[in-house]
Structure 1
Amino acid sequence: MSHFEQADAAASADRDLPTNSEVLMGDAATPDHSAEPPRSPRDFRWGAATAAFQIEGATSADGRGESIWDVFTRTPGRVLEGTTAEVAADSYRRYGDDVALLATLGVDDYRFSIAWPRVQPTGAGPANEPGLAYYDRLVDALLAEGIAPVPTLYHWDLPQPLEAAGGWLNRDTAARFADYAALVVDRLGDRVARWITLNEPAMTTLQGYALGTQAPGHALMMGALPTAHHQLLAHGLAVAAIRARGSAEVGITNNHTLVVPATDAPGDRLAAGAFDLVYNRIFAGPVLTGAYPDLSAFGLDAMPGLADGDLELIGAPLDFYGVNFYNPTRVAAASDGSEFATAGLPFEPVEFEGVPTTGFGWPIVPAAFTELLVSLDRDYGERLPPIVITENGASFPDEVVDGAVHDERRTAYLAEHIDAVRAAIELGVDVRGYYLWSLLDNFEWAEGYTQRFGLVHVDFESGERVPKDSFEWYRELIARERVARNQENGAA
């Protein structure tokens, strides 16, 4: 019996994988919202999200250091069309415009990220004062508009000197992150009530170190596993640093996908279980339970790099759990001769059949969102803190026509996925907020400027911002929810 066959029982116990037909037919018990969409809970918070490297630009301004993404974008062939983020949406200089857009939108919260190399140019040592001053101004501008700042401390922009010393393969990077977190919280903690430690550590491990498709561009395959542990250790150390500095709420953001076996054939279900393990459970399990799932599927008795006391730090209780969701993933057993089989992996993502897709080619299956949230609640139970949807959105090839952007497909995607969140709430999942990705069109990592996720169209040459039809739709939704919330609070 192979390692993957031996691990299948453990995988099945941790997560009961749905069938392809169950997801496509919406058998996650989604309520019928055809008449009138239900309101969200009274304390539900609406927001929008961005990330520093994707919108700020000004990559060499005011003492900012170099990040792994600065190096990656300059490397020929790494980014589509050879573009960089030197200007991006120019939000470092135009943050006031963006805060004004958020105020018009009417959001409760704004999730943004703080650029580590802007605060600590080398990843160590004292803070760079102009860098911290920028985030001071941003936080104050948000609070002046009644918008709660929700900073993410790490959204992929590791200082390049730390990468030169081993990056997330080096356990010391976790300690450096905790020092950086303390610098930021000491400066902003008097005004910030909610912190997110890391954004999508799975993507850093899988795309950045295993496959090499994102910064820092290493193709280590299973040799990338230590980066998962070191990121989670960094999270645990940062949680301790934040807790030591006050009563602010703290959480982490993990990217989750609902894994669907291509068929009910045993080989496909084994493959889906292995993919679910490496994409979802390795990153959720330690944070929520203080333990890694069974890793015998990869021939491992324990997580590489694990030391005494690590899991106590990683599994410290959280105030909320951030979930990013874009699409489900259909998985089959790796076919002979495929790049996955050649790399020694048992799984191979395959396309869904007969479903619409985004501009990225990602399948649009809103019922999968409900099922994903329900499965997290089922699998982790009382150990799962309240959920905040920290990213959800879609890219489409938008154009400005006569001063307007008519993005009906994005509006439909958002409406369907917000209804999917409401369905999960009705089924008992404790979801406290929804942050749409993204406020602005931005630099979309290795895709450069070819994918637009924003509620606001950005002309990347002039910096001009044009709110899209989806912006107005989201503004109206939030306004309706706020009126209903105020009425309920008044009646309470």
Structure 2
Amino acid sequence: MSFSFTRSDFPADFLFGAATAAYQIEGHAFGGAGASHWDSYAATPGNVTNADDGAVACDHYHRFEQDLDLVQQGGFDVYRFSVSWARIMPDGRHVNPEGLAFYDRLVDAIVARGLKPYLTLYHWDLPSALADTGGWTNPETADLFAAYTRAVIERIGDRVEAVATINEPWCVAWLSHFIGAQAPGLRDIRAATRAMHHVMLAHGKSLAVMREMGQQNLGIVLNLADPHPASGSTADIAATRRMDGISNRWFLDALFKGAYPEDILDALRPHMPAGLEDEMALISAPIDWLGINYYTRGIVADAPGTPWPQFDGVEGPLPKTDMGWEIYPEGLGTLLARVARDYTGDLPLYVTENGMAGDDHLVDGVCDDPVRLKYFDDHLQVVRGLIAEGVPVKGYFAWSLLDNYEWSFGYEKRFGLVHVDYETQTRTPKRSFEAFRAALNAAPRRLAASG
């Protein structure tokens, strides 16, 4: 089975990439990394499947050359990766030379393979020392993030093609501080609202540092929802708008309109920090591109009798991934078209993550994953259609290169194009990887810029 497209079906400047994140693959026990709040979250019973943590993960710290060979062999143009704040600054404030040296080697190896390095500065691994002082509920964390940004860019900024400040601020703030489903695992509306603002403030301050340093091609990565009301009732429609306000409009309005949406801000204002209006100009400073992560749609119902925001998710009727998420490629098209129409105009958009978890197994040395292969094919056909309609989608990055540490789900959920045996660390490309290899190598890969 193969994809229904090849590279030549997309514009000449369209970029195909594979994405990863530091804590999920590197092995946090190596290289002088400091404790991350994910270490303590995982050590607390009930938070993570099997109490798994990222101490070894995929041992990418020692095997990155092999892993980058796979990216190159797959015909990809871009390797999207993150750096670990807790590795680079174990206490959140002072540089660990061994940590920076690792990323120096990593970026050199990416460039040596003709790949474009797309750097993400923060993919959820907050140093525990900063969690001790309130983490994202503390405005100082935004200032420290700016200092961390400077240290990273001074070392590797000359070779990276693009930089994202924050990956998925909704997860960093709301999912982790209100729903409590990720580190630090809080369920507190005051903590959540402050984190919702401070993570955007960190983006603004990081962006300002990089602009001052002359760094180019800067953006942020949002995980956005495609919300649908469970019925045509007024209550379900209103609930869907509340969900959209928290998941989508909070971040998009802040970035592109310089203000949080009034309906959500009115509800959260009693818990918000004072003076936030004075910081919105910094948060809404122009970016060069926007990354959007998409996995599934959301079906939303009113939840009468519960506290605000008073909505529940409803299971949809479509086939599900191993995460229980509906496979709904059309939602990617709806979402990207809406963002371009209502917010970004001609600003380049990238699908910075898209993929699915499967119940994957090796059989006679082969990992056949036809559902994932079709998932990628269907979503990329949606992207083709959007481009034809004039939506400025400039790239698509598959999540993920490797099976890895899937946060609260430990090592049981496999998103990779490449199967990882966690006992032996053997890598085995899946059929979906081979489909990308065939489609992308059907024409020359784009050459990386010099920096």
TM-score w.r.t. the length of structure 2 is: 0.94
Partner of 1:385 in structure 2? 347
Please say which of residues 419-428 and 191-200 is displaced more in the overlay: 419-428
Report the counterpart of residue 264 of structure 1 in structure 2.
232
| Equivalent position SS for 1:202 | helix
2:171 to 185, 203, 207: 203
What's 1:464 paired with? 426
Equivalent pair of 2:246/2:264 in contact (CA under 8 Å): no
Percent identity over the alignment is 42
State the 1:85 CA deviation. Answer: 1.4
Relative distance call for 1:441 and 1:240 in structure 2 (3 A) is: same
Change (3 A) 1:302 1:425: farther
Separation of aligned partners in 2, 1:301 and 1:221: 11
Pick from 332, 335, 348 the counterpart of residue 301 of structure 2: 332
* Residues 269-278 or 99-108, more deviating: 99-108
Contact persistence 2:6–2:439 (CA under 8 A): no
Residue among 170, 189, 192 paired with 1:224: 192
Q: What is the CA–CA distance in structure 2 between the aligned matches of 1:249 and 1:34, rounded to whole Å?
A: 31
- Would you say the 8 A contact 2:255–2:285 is kept in 1? yes
Contact 1:113–1:153 under 8 Å retained in 2 = yes
Residues in 2 aligned to 1:98 and 1:234: alpha-carbon distance in whole angstroms? 31
Corresponding residue of 1:13: none
Pair 1:370-2:353 in alignment: no
Q: Does the 8 Å contact 2:81/2:120 carry over to 1?
A: yes
Aligned residues: 444
Check 1:249–1:422 CA distance in 2 against 1; reply closer, same or farther (3 A cut).
same
- Identify the match of residue 91 of structure 2 among 112, 117, 122: 122
Deviations 1:101-150 (A, max 9, x none): 1111121110010000110010013x111100000111001111100111
- Contact kept, 8 Å, 2:8 with 2:443, in 1: the verdict is no
Letter in 1 for 2:54: A
Letter paired with 1:416: D
Distance 1:477 1:446 in 2: 33
Residues 208-217 or 419-428, more deviating: 419-428
Task: Write the mapping of 1:41-60 to structure 2, written as runs, cut at 5 A.
Answer: 41-57=11-27, 59-60=28-29
| Cα distance in 1 between the residues matched to 2:443 and 2:262 | 43
Answering whether residue 347 of structure 2 is matched by residue 347 of structure 1, we say no
The match for 2:373 among 404, 411, 419 is 411
Match of 2:272 among 304, 312, 316: 304
CA distance in 1, matches of 2:6, 2:57: 39
36-45 or 69-78, larger mean C-alpha shift: 36-45
* Mapped partners of 1:367, 1:296: distance in 2: 27
Indicate the structure (1 or 2) with the bigger Cα radius of gyration: 1
CA distance, structure 1, for counterparts of residue 241 and residue 191 of structure 2: 20
- Which amino acid in structure 2 is aligned with residue 42 of structure 1? A
State the AA in 2 paired with 1:78: N
**Structure 1 pair 433–375 and aligned structure 2 pair: CA distance change class (3 A):** same
Match of 1:77 in 2: 46
Aligned to 1:430: 392
The residue identity in structure 2 corresponding to 1:122 is: D
For 1:228, the aligned partner's letter is: M
SS where residue 363 of structure 1 aligns? coil
Conserved 8 A contact 1:295-1:301: no
Given that 2:252 and 2:343 are in contact with CA atoms closer than 8 Å, whether structure 1 keeps it comes out as no
8 Å CA contact 1:167–1:173 kept in 2: the answer is yes
Partners of 1:406 and 1:135 lie apart in 2 by 33
How do residues 307-326 of structure 1 correspond to structure 2 at under 5 angstroms? 307=276, 309-326=278-295
Give, in whole Å, the separation in 1 of the partners of 2:200 and 2:421.
37
Q: Which letter maps to 1:284?
A: L
Give the whole-Å Cα distance in 1 for the aligned partners of 2:327 and 2:145: 36
- Distance in 2 of aligned mates of 1:244 and 1:230: 21
CA distance in 1, matches of 2:270, 2:387: 35
SS at match of 1:416: helix
> CA contact under 8 A between 2:356 and 2:372: conserved in structure 1?
yes
State the distance in 2 between where 1:170 and 1:37 align: 46
Q: Which consecutive residues of structure 2, in runs of 5 or more, have no partner in the other structure?
A: none
**Is 1:454 matched with 2:416?**
yes
- Consecutive unaligned residues in structure 1, runs of 5 or more: 1-32, 487-492
Letter in 2 for 1:41: P
Deviation at 1:298, TM superposition (A): 4.8
| TM value normalised by structure 1 | 0.87
Counterpart position of 1:439: 401
- 1:352/1:38 CA distance change after superposition, 3 Å: farther
Maintained 8 Å contact 2:176/2:183: yes
Q: Give 3-state SS (helix, strand or coil) of 2:281's partner.
A: helix
Query: Partners of 1:36 and 1:114 in 2: how far apart?
Result: 31
